[in-house]
Structure 1
Amino acid sequence: MADATRDTSGERGGHPEVRLRAVVEADLELFLAHEHDPEAVRRSRFTPRPRDAFLAHWRQRVLGDPDCLVRTVTVDGEVAGSFVSWTQDDRRFLGYWLGRPYWGRGVGTRALALFLREEPARPLYADPFAGNAASVRLLERHGFERVGTVRHGENEHLLLVLPAPAAPAARPAPAGPDEAR
């Protein structure tokens, strides 16, 4: 049986090998650096936190919350970013962050596919900054649909949802003996 957290496309055709694994303490410093990248901040409209606040958030609210599903993304063995899902206001949300060296290489596409295999909740929501076209495209390629907008501070974000699969159509009941005549 294939490992659900492993993308084998890197073993064919020269693409990087993308995997998901559990987060370890050493990953947090790289995640902090990703959050402070000026271009990532511009695209996400996410205000980077000071180091102590960032580490406290990750240790207590992300890693310390059994409701959160959190994974480190690796590319050819190097830490590339993270994917997280959590429950907020009775909705399950998805968030992710990739370091700039991994943008535009298909890493997000493969990592999100792997993460969605692990995260069973549907519907699943995401709310990227409306101006982050690459993030919106990534979500839409995986079946997320635009359902509205939300504001985070002064910034408009799109609300997207990966819907629950449609229920199979009900089959008509077989005809009883009296109905067959």
Structure 2
Amino acid sequence: MTSDAFLRDTTEDDLPIFFEQQLDPDANYMAAFTSGDPTDRDHFMARWTRIFEDDAIATQTILCDGHVAGYVASFEQFGKPSISYWLGKEYWGKGFATKAVLGFVGHINTRPLYARAAKDNIASIRVLEKCGFTICGEDKGFANARGEQVEEFIMRLGAS
């Protein structure tokens, strides 16, 4: 890693950058399970308004060298406490995701904690493994970004 990554509370000022990052077709393909139309700014803003209003969802912005690089979030998914993250493509492969996820889960006391990754998203699976997550199951679902069913790993951090 050539520089450092930090976490801070997410603000509305971060949203235009998040929106631009999620327009990248390669990033959408890797994430797989994305919104139906990543170009729909109104839908994007409405989703983030709901996130900000929901006390059960926590988000942190990832800063790399002072620039907004992405975010990490915790929420309930399929009845289980879960996390996900998004990192702008220009920040991939530099250790930022691992550092951000490690920092984020270090402040969450809930265990077990779950995450999901498309089976072919080797980089994301590796990030989660470096942060202590292990594969505990499999699932598949329709991935908007790919227009087809995609298999995914369910990963768990902590006791079952």
TM-score over 0.5 (shorter chain): yes
Query: Runs (4+) of structure 1 moved beyond 6 Å?
Result: none
TM-score (norm 2): 0.89
Equivalent residue number for residue 150 of structure 2: 155
Q: How does 1:111-150 map to 2 (within 5 A)?
A: 111-150=100-139
Comparing both structures, which one devotes a greater share of its residues to strand? 2
* Cα offset, 1:89, TM superposition: 3.5
- RCO greater where, 1 or 2, for CA within 8 Å and sep 6 or more? 2
Could you say which residue in structure 1 is the equivalent of 2:27? 40
Larger Rg: 1
Q: How much does 1:164 deviate?
A: 2.8
1:2-151 alignment, distance < 5 Å: 15-48=2-35, 49=38, 50-60=40-50, 62-151=51-140
Q: Please list every run of 5 or more consecutive structure 1 residues that lacks an aligned counterpart in the other structure.
A: 1-13, 166-181
Residue 118 of structure 1: CA displacement? Answer: 1.5
Cα offset for 1:96? 0.3
Deviation at 1:90, TM superposition (A): 2.8
TM-score (norm. length: structure 1): 0.79
Equivalent residues, number:
151
2:43 partner amino acid: A
Q: Which secondary structure state, in structure 1, belongs to the residue aligned with residue 114 of structure 2?
A: strand
- How many angstroms does 1:114 deviate by? 0.8
Amino acid at match of 2:135: R
Q: Secondary structure at the match of 1:122?
A: coil
Residue 8 of structure 1 is matched in structure 2 by: none
